[in-house]
Structure 1
Amino acid sequence: MDRTRTDIYLDGRWVAASGGETLPVRNPATEEVFASVPAGTPADVDRAVAAARAAFPGWASAAPADRAAHLDRLHAALTARADEIARTVATELGTPLKVATRIQAGLPLTVLRGYVELAARPPAEETVGNSLVVREPVGVVGAITPWNYPLHQVVAKVGAALAAGCTVVLKPSELTPLTAYLLFDAVHEAGLPAGVINLVPGAGPVVGEALAAHPDVDMVSFTGSTATGRRIAHLAADRVARVALELGGKSANVILDDADLATAVKVGVGNAFLNSGQTCTAWTRMLVHRDRYAEAVELAAAAAGTYRLGDPFDPATRLGPLVSAAQRERVRGHVEKGLADGGRLVAGGPDAPLPGRGFFVAPTVIADVDPDSALAQEEVFGPVLALLPVSDDEHAVAVANNSRYGLAGAVWSGDEERALRVARGIRTGAVDINGGAFNPLAPFGGYKQSGLGRELGSHGLDEFRQVKAIQR
């Protein structure tokens, strides 16, 4: 079915883009182009930012209850589209439908519900001496989002920005733009005020750069690679604009000698392979105490063998394709480099059987990885797990911290206090102990080159607010 979209969303209306070019949308499981969207231009960005700027005073001054009511209607409109969202993500990204339903469609609805509730609360005020300290919306926000979680990453930014009283121009990934179009269908149905949120699809070097450098954009919120994040930060810094950056990760899954090894390895493999490994928080380094390392390697290889590759709409499929041919080649290159650097292949690898078509990479486990090697240091963004032995708790923390990234991680131990001590020592924005569940209300973000700022919950909302002191 052709799902081509022909317009962009500006100032409360679907309108034609200023240029005539389009961007193809490819099904990564079949390699076929099945849709297209307009290729936005800098002129479209100018129009979108102007609409957002004009809408800002009214939206910023609206009563919190009114903003919450608008977001509540948006939540209802998105909920009605949940099945279509899941199927669209399965088609344009390749996430297996069961996972797409639960995470790609379900998680953003949970996040948005949280922002409906937060939007209804007036921003906190405090008195410091003779000063009244108040919080106000930062202004016009440029949101630039990735392809791997094409609705969640949008809602994490847009929901918070709108709840805070900001207006938004969104540039979704050109690889998975159709999910964003479903969001804006819901925006239109919900009747959000004209100009409060605008959509300009397009290529990153064109639309993304125009948005990040635009003089009337007060803040840029970006999720993607660290390299692109540096570029966004430079563009924003030239005009001293605020940035929030959610970037790469190389998270460590630390399994101590007293852990429930079978559970720790099974859950760890599942985390590393979630969304075909295309997850910034993926625990792609499994650090196991030497006394249990050999058993962990066997368990990880066996677990990887249960991940069936195939059609995202087949209920038996556990691992879909990567998003593009380019991403497949990058991941293959990481695997080949990891083996050339001395890693020991225990599952998957370059010669593993694959479906005849589609951008697939076999679920791969490589043991005996050097902590300083490329496979242990570079973000692979594919279904590739590296195993590394560690000798004690201090060594595990040192190896976990031997990374320029610091986004997430995990610790497993039969002694929760011991696990907590290790977790405190790991320099990352989040750590799960013994499989602790993801909390969509907790702050999400990284240390070091994993980013700046936080998303989700009240901490995510505060990113879109300025602080003012009024003396009296």
Structure 2
Amino acid sequence: MNSNREPSFPAPAHWIDGRAIPFDGPVIEVVNPATGAVIATVPEGTAGDVDRAVVAATAAFPAWAATDPAERAAVMRSIAAGLKARSEEIAVAISTEMGAPISLARWGQAAMPIMSTEAIASVESDFPWSEEIANSLILREPIGVVAAITPWNFPLQQVVTKVVPALLAGNTVVLKPSELAPLSARIFAEVAAEAGLPAGVFNVVHGTGPVVGEALAGHPAIDMVSLTGSTSAGKRVAAVASGTVKRVALELGGKSAAVILPDADLKDAVTRGLASAWTNSGQVCGAYTRMLVPAELHDQVVDLLREAAGEYTTGDPTDENTRLGPLASEAQRTRVAAYIERGVADGATLVVGGPGRPVGLPTGAYVKPTIFANVEPDSVIAQEEIFGPVLAVIPYTDDDHAVWIANSTIYGLNGAVFGETEHALAIAKRMRTGQVDINGGQFNPLAPFGGYKQSGNGREYGRFGLEEFLETKAIQR
């Protein structure tokens, strides 16, 4: 691919009641973070646009809710097939709008949503839509109109993990994608319509969080809002939504710990831990951004990290060999750079990376992928979500100390333990976090994903994600 050629995208439009709605008002520019070039524009939506989408979703709800779940699942499988047919287009769009290297974009940004959609659809056949408990008939019914607010780091994957289970449950949806990475939402809307999703069941309103996001969260005809984003954004949505006592599901920030035990395979643990911390340029809510290591093995782990870091190339995301692209925006680059400077100022040992731009990349939203060692557990870079390629290595003295450090932040989204299986499992059970991987346990799209503490509430994926979008009714007879 030629990095000097920008792909073309449709004219700005919302997607309401089954079609693109042309827009001639103020727009938001979508910028390629690698080049700084404006690649597209989307509408700067208003509360009025939200009203129109909610009206369409409300009108479409009764018929869609009455559709047999098996029929809804068939539409979801058709959506998966449609996404697969356009997977390269999706990968290029997401790589261009938020900087993911094209190789990552193909499997992480385009292929994962297909797999997730298929997995969610598979839940329908044996899900207990109704059951009998003594003299009660228990029914699981759709909530109504769902607002989905999604982020820019995995733009289509986050759409799928909310919209597909919401639709499978029989709800109608109004989506606000991130204004930084909105392009794949249009592709999803087109694919869904071609798959047979009735008009009004899925709608897209572009715009900013303070305008469109708040209008959705506070709208009296919205029955549920599901948001993935920062913890501060989640707190605001929850506060606005409380006025109508609607259901709120939040998947928020993380500061996940990878605990390396003395009996671990150190090289494997370091390789996997660094891959998690730096994948997608560290812009992953569940990334293992803290590596907890036995104090006596600290220096050995640091040497292995230094060696592993040499395998990561930072550069043009259109280059097939690039492993780390730019951050998603110049604002994000500035934010992450400030954290790197703070780590240096606070006395952490700089292993690789550090302040300033990578060599040979004087422009674009690039930072140096960075590793700090001898990090204090209560320091800023060990406590706050950086959302960039910055790993903090923290020494510990024994199991109790490791668990205390792992649980010492306001977050509880993800985690990992490396070591002898039973030893690792014992540590995993003590970690206050929504999921823990042991020795590189494989991602399971049917297992629940979500956080403890200020990492949010509710769960996504599999039957757990489907249940989030359902009401439960008991009929006694």
| TM-score normalised by length of structure 2 | 0.97
Alignment of 1:333-412 (within 5 A): 333-351=338-356, 352-412=358-418
Deviations 1:138-186 (A, max 9, x none): 1100000000000000000001000100100000000001111111121
Q: Which amino acid aligns with 1:439?
A: N
Q: Distance in 2 between matches of 1:40 and 1:429?
A: 34
In structure 1, the residue matched to 2:274 is 269
Q: Distance in 1 between matches of 2:473 and 2:80?
A: 31
What's the CA shift for 1:122? 5.8
Q: Which amino acid aligns with 2:315?
A: G
Deviations 1:444-468 (A, max 9, x none): 0000000010000000000000111
Residue of 159, 162, 168 corresponding to 1:157: 162
What's the CA shift for 1:316? 1.7
* Aligned residues of 1:369 and 1:376 also touching (Cα < 8 A): yes
Q: Distance in 2 between matches of 1:163 and 1:145?
A: 18
Alignment coverage as a number of residue pairs: 470
Deviations 1:218-248 (A, max 9, x none): 0000000000000000111111000000000
RMSD: 1.2
Q: Which amino acid aligns with 1:179?
A: S
Q: Distance in 1 between matches of 2:471 and 2:266?
A: 46
In structure 1, the gaps of 5 or more residues are: none
* Aligned residues of 1:248 and 1:450 also touching (Cα < 8 A): yes
In structure 2, the gaps of 5 or more residues are: 1-6
In structure 1, the residue matched to 2:28 is 23
Residue of 180, 185, 203 corresponding to 2:190: 185
Alignment of 1:50-129 (within 5 A): 50-121=55-126, 123-129=128-134
* Aligned residues of 1:48 and 1:199 also touching (Cα < 8 A): yes
What's the CA shift for 1:121? 4.8
Instruction: Name the SS for the 1:238 alignment partner.
Output: helix
Residue of 433, 438, 442 corresponding to 2:443: 438
Q: Which amino acid aligns with 1:394?
A: D
* Aligned residues of 1:354 and 1:360 also touching (Cα < 8 A): no
* Aligned residues of 1:354 and 1:361 also touching (Cα < 8 A): no
Residue of 164, 181, 190 corresponding to 1:176: 181
In structure 1, the residue matched to 2:326 is 321
What's the CA shift for 1:189? 1.8
Deviations 1:372-424 (A, max 9, x none): 011000000000000000111111111000010000000000x2010000000
Q: Distance in 2 between matches of 1:327 and 1:444?
A: 25
| TM-score normalised by length of structure 1 | 0.98
What's the CA shift for 1:326? 0.5
Residue of 143, 159, 165 corresponding to 2:148: 143
Residue of 413, 417, 421 corresponding to 1:416: 421
In structure 2, the residue matched to 1:221 is 226
Q: Which amino acid aligns with 2:347?
A: G
Deviations 1:78-105 (A, max 9, x none): 1110011011111111111111101111
Which piece of structure 1 moves more, 393-402 or 299-308? Answer: 299-308
* Aligned residues of 1:309 and 1:354 also touching (Cα < 8 A): no
Instruction: Name the SS for the 1:299 alignment partner.
Output: helix
Aligned structure 1 segments of 4 or more residues deviating by more than 4 angstroms? none
* Aligned residues of 2:145 and 2:221 also touching (Cα < 8 A): yes
Q: Which amino acid aligns with 1:332?
A: A
Residue of 452, 461, 469 corresponding to 2:466: 461
What's the CA shift for 1:354? 4.8
Q: Distance in 1 between matches of 2:163 and 2:56?
A: 16
Change (3 A) 1:362 1:258: same
* Aligned residues of 2:127 and 2:463 also touching (Cα < 8 A): no
Q: Distance in 2 between matches of 1:52 and 1:120?
A: 26
Instruction: Name the SS for the 2:312 alignment partner.
Output: coil
Q: Which amino acid aligns with 1:391?
A: T
Q: Which amino acid aligns with 1:136?
A: E
Q: Distance in 2 between matches of 1:241 and 1:94?
A: 35
Deviations 1:195-230 (A, max 9, x none): 100011111111111011100000000000000000
Q: Which amino acid aligns with 2:269?
A: A
1:200 aligns with 2:200: no
Change (3 A) 1:13 1:121: farther
What's the CA shift for 1:65? 1.9
Q: Distance in 2 between matches of 1:65 and 1:133?
A: 19
What's the CA shift for 1:334? 0.7
In structure 1, the residue matched to 2:3 is none
Residue of 296, 299, 310 corresponding to 1:291: 296
* Aligned residues of 2:256 and 2:286 also touching (Cα < 8 A): yes
* Aligned residues of 1:170 and 1:200 also touching (Cα < 8 A): yes
* Aligned residues of 1:4 and 1:37 also touching (Cα < 8 A): no
